[in-house]
């Protein structure tokens, strides 16, 4: 098998058979001619493969799905218009009223909101297994377990192999949101997880100009998710966005290396600054799960760093955020541009305050998405901003 950098460029793509174009064409069409009545009937009955309507499948999107299935080591994949559309499709396709979904938090606030709102509406129990532990939290009704390979925003890890073993012993399907790590750093299916999903909007696209989600895994699960998520909910990805993701993924391994290098430098700077009480980054030896990160992650520890101000809470966080120049205040992450946000009032504002407190998402917490700029410039920018609420580096 070729190396990841090679597969990121070539997987799922071939020169166009008509004109030899190397870049996958944007098949900007709603419908596809199927020739004869009998062939159309066979297509709609699923007896033959082919394209009929872009809500169900489109050649540009198919190339993207093939590329991501290859990178994640999966049999197949299905793409959606957003990560939230992918999350909703998984939940509704694989669960029935009376079933339960268990998760290990903290999760992205939008994901937890989807679980709780759809769960309440459709009679699905939602179990937060974070406090009691996964094994102790499962019930006979549990059909799905959800984890993030790096939790948002405090960058905790879960032992994927252990989770998969617990789930398999009880016949429960596991899902890992791999948005923060990408297949460059973690491949959940290699650890026994059943399904892996991404908000492609982040690192896979990498340039902040396309919104999408994708789920990779075995045929039997993916086809159920495809049928409901695309055929019934209509959450299909546009061919233009698929083209942008195909282009972005070609440079994913190179970009992730730069993100990881910059984040490691930024994390080390923050960990030694007097104004910072705690720095969350799995690459730091002080991280409580650094040993697990070394085992479960390859090639780096990600491009996201979170830190908590030593004093002042929201006011201190605002003083830093409002004085940043190279870090743009914005949600999302994984762009080549560096971004910064205040999770308690943005990405996790829909999470109740008591739940945020339990997860350590306090008012003084800042999340950074480190881009591909020179780390020295980013550190200087942070130093200037931190000076608004501190006396300078420790020992300085």
Find out whether 95 and 141 touch, Cβ atoms under 8 Å.
Answer: no
Active-site annotation holder among 70, 99, 128, 177 = 177
Is the residue at 395 inside a domain?
no
Instruction: Look at residue 390 in the predicted model and tell me its pLDDT.
Output: 56
The stretches of 36-130 forming alpha helices (DSSP H) are: 37-44, 59-72, 83-94, 109-122
For residues 33 and 179, state if they share a domain. yes
For residues 134 and 283, state if they share a domain. no
Where does a domain end: 250, 283, 318? 250
Where does a domain end: 250, 283, 312? 250
Q: Is 50 exceeded by the pLDDT of residue 240?
A: yes
Of 14-18, 75-79, 354-358, the range with the highest mean pLDDT is 75-79
The stretches of the chain forming alpha helices (DSSP H) are: 4-10, 37-44, 59-72, 83-94, 109-122, 134-137, 160-169, 182-185, 219-226, 239-250, 252-271, 290-296, 313-321, 353-359, 375-386
- Annotated catalytic residue 226: no
For residues 118 and 31, state if they share a domain. yes
Where does a domain end: 202, 220, 250? 250
Is the residue at 394 inside a domain?
no
Question: What CATH number does residue 344 fall under?
Answer: 3.90.1150.10
Please name the residue that has the structure tokens 């605002």. Answer: 318
Q: Is 80 exceeded by the pLDDT of residue 395?
A: no
Instruction: Look at residue 388 in the predicted model and tell me its pLDDT.
Output: 83
Residues 347-389 have pLDDT tens digits of 898 888 888 888 888 999 999 999 999 999 999 999 999 998 7
Q: Which residues contact 108 (CB under 8 A, 6 or more apart)?
A: 148, 152, 177, 179, 347, 348
For residues 32 and 120, state if they share a domain. yes
Is the residue at 129 inside a domain?
yes
Residues 189-199 have pLDDT tens digits of 999 999 999 99
For residues 344 and 377, state if they share a domain. yes
Instruction: Look at residue 349 in the predicted model and tell me its pLDDT.
Output: 87
pTM strictly above 0.75: yes
Is the residue at 105 inside a domain?
yes
Mean pLDDT (whole number) for 266-277:
97
Instruction: Look at residue 393 in the predicted model and tell me its pLDDT.
Output: 44
Query: Number of folded domains in the chain?
Result: 2
Residues 138-178 have pLDDT tens digits of 999 999 999 999 999 999 999 999 999 999 999 999 999 99
Q: Is 70 exceeded by the pLDDT of residue 278?
A: yes
Mean pLDDT (whole number) for 99-128:
95
Is the residue at 335 inside a domain?
yes
Instruction: Look at residue 314 in the predicted model and tell me its pLDDT.
Output: 93
Question: Rounded mean pLDDT of the chain?
Answer: 95
For residues 231 and 279, state if they share a domain. no
Q: How confident is the model at residue 392 (pLDDT cuts 50, 70, 90)?
A: very low
Active-site annotation holder among 67, 143, 202, 255 = 202
For residues 127 and 212, state if they share a domain. yes
Q: Is 70 exceeded by the pLDDT of residue 60?
A: yes
State which residues form the domain around 296.
Answer: 252-386
- Annotated catalytic residue 202: yes
Q: Is 50 exceeded by the pLDDT of residue 396?
A: no
Residues 304-332 have pLDDT tens digits of 999 999 988 999 999 999 999 999 999 99
Is the residue at 302 inside a domain?
yes
For residues 30 and 165, state if they share a domain. yes
- Annotated catalytic residue 177: yes
For residues 312 and 240, state if they share a domain. no
Question: What CATH number does residue 72 fall under?
Answer: 3.40.640.10
**What percentage of the chain exceeds 70 in pLDDT?**
98
Is the residue at 393 inside a domain?
no
For residues 332 and 231, state if they share a domain. no
Active-site annotation holder among 55, 116, 314, 358 = 55
Instruction: Look at residue 389 in the predicted model and tell me its pLDDT.
Output: 73
Active-site annotation holder among 67, 70, 99, 108 = 108
Find out whether 127 and 100 touch, Cβ atoms under 8 Å.
Answer: yes
Mean pLDDT (whole number) for 246-269:
98
Q: Which residues contact 4 (CB under 8 A, 6 or more apart)?
A: 71, 183, 184, 253
For residues 123 and 204, state if they share a domain. yes
For residues 242 and 266, state if they share a domain. no
């Amino acid at each position: 098998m070729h190396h990841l950098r090679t597969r990121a460029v070539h997987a799922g793509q071939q020169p166009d058979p008509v004109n030899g174009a190397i870049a996958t064409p944007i098949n900007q069409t709603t419908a596809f001619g199927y020739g004869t009545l009998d062939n159309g009937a066979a297509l709609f009955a699923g007896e033959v493969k082919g394209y009929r309507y872009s809500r169900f499948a489109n050649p540009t999107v198919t190339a993207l799905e093939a590329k991501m299935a290859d990178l994640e080591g999966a049999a197949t994949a299905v793409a959606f218009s957003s990560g939230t559309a992918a999350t909703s499709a998984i939940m509704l396709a694989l669960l029935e009223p009376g079933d339960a979904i268990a998760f290990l938090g903290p999760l992205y606030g939008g994901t937890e909101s989807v679980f709780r709102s759809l769960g309440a509406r459709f009679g699905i129990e939602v179990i937060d297994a974070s406090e009691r532990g996964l094994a102790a939290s499962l019930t006979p009704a549990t059909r799905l377990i959800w984890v993030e390979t790096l939790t948002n925003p405090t960058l905790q890890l879960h032992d994927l192999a252990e989770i998969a073993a617990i789930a398999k012993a009880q016949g429960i399907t596991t899902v890992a949101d791999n948005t923060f790590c990408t297949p460059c750093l973690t491949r959940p299916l290699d650890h026994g997880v059943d399904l892996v999903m991404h908000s492609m909007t982040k690192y896979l696209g990498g340039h902040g100009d396309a919104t999408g989600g994708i789920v990779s895994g075995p045929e039997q699960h993916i086809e159920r998710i495809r049928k409901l998520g695309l055929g019934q909910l209509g959450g299909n990805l546009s061919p233009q966005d698929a083209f942008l993701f195909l282009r972005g993924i070609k440079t994913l391994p190179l970009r992730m290396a730069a993100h990881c290098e910059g984040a490691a430098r930024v994390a080390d700077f923050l960990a030694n600054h007097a104004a910072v009480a705690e720095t969350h980054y799995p690459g730091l030896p002080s991280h409580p799960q650094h040993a697990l990160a070394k085992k479960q992650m390859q090639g780096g520890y990600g491009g996201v760093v979170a830190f908590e101000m030593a004093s002042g809470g929201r006011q201190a966080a605002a003083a830093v955020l409002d004085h940043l120049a190279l870090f743009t205040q914005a949600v999302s992450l994984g762009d080549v541009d560096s971004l910064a946000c205040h999770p308690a009032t943005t990405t996790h504002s829909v999470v109740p305050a008591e739940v945020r407190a339990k997860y350590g998402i306090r008012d003084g917490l800042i999340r950074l998405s480190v881009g591909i700029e020179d780390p020295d410039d980013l550190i200087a920018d942070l130093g200037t901003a931190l000076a608004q609420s501190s006396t300078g580096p420790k020992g300085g």
